Amino acid sequence: MKKILHISKYYYPFFGGTEQIARDVVLALKGEYEQKVIAFNDGKDDRTDTVDGIEVIKCGCFAKIAAQSLSTSYGKHLHQVMKDFQPDIVVFHYPNPFVAALLLRELKTTKAKLVVYWHLDIIRQKYLRVLFASQNRRLLECAVKVIATSPNYIEGSQWLQSVKEKCVVVPNCINVERMSVTDDIQKRAEEIRTKNSGKTICVAVGRHTEYKGFTYLIQASKLLDGRFLIYITGTGELTEKLHEEANDDKKVVFTGRIDDMELKALILASDIFCFPSITKNEAFGLALAEGMYYGKPAVTFTIPGSGVNYVSINGETGIEVENRNVKKYAEAMKKLADDAELREKYGDAGRKRVEENFLSTQFCENARRMFSRL
């Protein structure tokens, strides 16, 4: 049985998009390969856990610089696992520049094949982007395959364009079991609908950070009439600022962090799923796919090179408008609010698109097929 070492920034139960995908890959390949995972620990101590029957080595993190984790023990643990485990394949989840430097050193003395799982380009950190340019080139040169989450990202990334012949698309997936709706959830959704009878309920989901574009949704809300009600879930570094922006707008409701049950009920009760992300930091849009799975029409911005406009198709599963164009975004929301038949049409098409492309069953098939060809 061939061996695979997965290198992720963090790993389950740490919650994050990259971490979830890393776990999805491990679960997809479980039973067909012998696997191990190495990642940072969300704390200062080194530890080894067993997750889903797989050994996970977690290296203590003493500091973060520009969102990049640093560890004094990572190099030692990576060297040891490469020496003892002797993987046939190394799956490296990018970006993770500190660990990339250590990995490139290890690859000089191993026959392991490198697969780079390219989640997104480094965009916001301009200095890091320049600093790690040569490292990116070496990583991509060493890789036998580069996994991208959408064809859009391959076309929009200068890095992936440089190794286009190595790229394979494996779209992200949603977990159907986690998306299941119980009677209690359905009952709660009905309560929300009854409480807000006569309103067009809109929901936006995500961390309150710049690239999520919630500020543009709040600006769009100011152009809407009182029949709209916009729920914005989550928290983040921009929470206080967003509250200030929406201070005089009773149409906007901040839920804070809510559990899965309440989130599902809220989406089920909604008429429109708002996904106002504005940059390629939103590489795919897993929350968008989840909203579509529940049959909700989406309103998105055009983001060149992002998978967002690959997940939701303009005029088929929702409405896509010019990036940051608040007026157009509000008009799209009004159009859907005024046309129940269109909402149903887009919602049905959205669920079908997710069922045919973005479920864990398809993800497993895609992942297994790709690794079997190495």
| CATH number of this structure's domain 183-357 | 3.40.50.2000
pLDDT of 349 over the 90 cut = yes
Contacts of 197 (CB under 8 A, 6+ apart): none
249 vs 18, residue with greater confidence? 249
Residue range 29-57: mean pLDDT, rounded: 96
Q: Which residue has the tokens 């920034």?
A: 9
pLDDT for res 78: 98
Question: What gap in Å lies between CA 232 and CA 211, rounded to an integer?
Answer: 15
Whether residue 125 is predicted with pLDDT greater than 60 in this model: the reply is no
**Phi, psi angles (nearest 5°) of residue 169:** -90, 120
The single residue listed with the structure tokens 């704390």 is 43
Tell me phi and psi for residue 3, to 5 degrees.
-110, 140
Those residues whose C-beta lies under 8 Å from the C-beta of residue 145, and which sit 6 or more positions away, are 115, 116, 166, 167, 168, 370, 374
Residue 52 neighbours by CB distance under 10 Å? 12
CATH for 3-173+359-372, among 3.40.50.620, 3.40.50.2000, 3.10.20.30, 2.60.20.30? 3.40.50.2000
- Helix axis angle, 340-357 to 326-338, nearest 10°: 100
Q: Which residue has the tokens 């570094």?
A: 237
pLDDT band at 210 (very low <50, low <70, confident <90, very high): very high
318 and 299 in contact (C-beta within 8 Å)?
A: yes
How confident is the model over 297-329, as pLDDT tens digits? 999 999 999 999 999 999 999 999 999 999 999
pLDDT at 252: 98
Lowest mean pLDDT among 70-74, 167-171, 292-296, 338-342: 70-74
- Taking the alpha carbons of 96, 101, 103, 108 in that order, is the dihedral positive or negative? positive
Compute the average pLDDT of residues 104-121.
95
Q: What is the pLDDT of residue 128?
A: 59
Contact between 172 and 358 under an 8 Å Cβ cutoff? The reply is yes
Span 56-82, mean pLDDT?
A: 90
pLDDT band at 16; cut points 50, 70, 90 = confident
Say yes or no to pLDDT of 127 above 90.
Answer: no
Q: What angle do CA 226, 252, 315 make, to 5 degrees?
A: 75
CA torsion 30-284-280-118 (nearest 10°) is 20
| Residue 66, pLDDT score | 67
At 62 the pLDDT is: 86
Of 300, 305, 311, the closest CA to residue 357 belongs to: 311
228-233/252-256 β-pairing: parallel
What percent of the chain has pLDDT above 70? 97
CA proximity to 89, closest of 143, 149, 22, 30: 143
Among 22, 85, 17, 25, residue whose Cα is nearest residue 365: 25
Sheet holding 298-301, edge to edge: 252-256, 228-233, 200-204, 272-275, 298-301, 318-321
Looking at residue 141, its amino acid is E
- List pLDDT tens digits, range 172-200: 999 888 899 999 999 999 999 999 999 99
Give the dihedral of Cα atoms 128, 129, 130, 131; nearest 10 deg.
40
For the residues 49-61, what does the mean pLDDT come to? Answer: 97
pLDDT at 42: 85
Please check the confidence at residue 373 and state whether its pLDDT lies above 70: yes
pTM assigned to the model: 0.87
Which residue's entry shows tokens 């961390």? 207
Domain boundaries, the chain: 3-173+359-372, 183-357
Mean pLDDT of all residues in the chain?
Answer: 94
The pLDDT of residue 15 is above 90:
no
Q: Is the pLDDT of residue 278 over 90?
A: yes
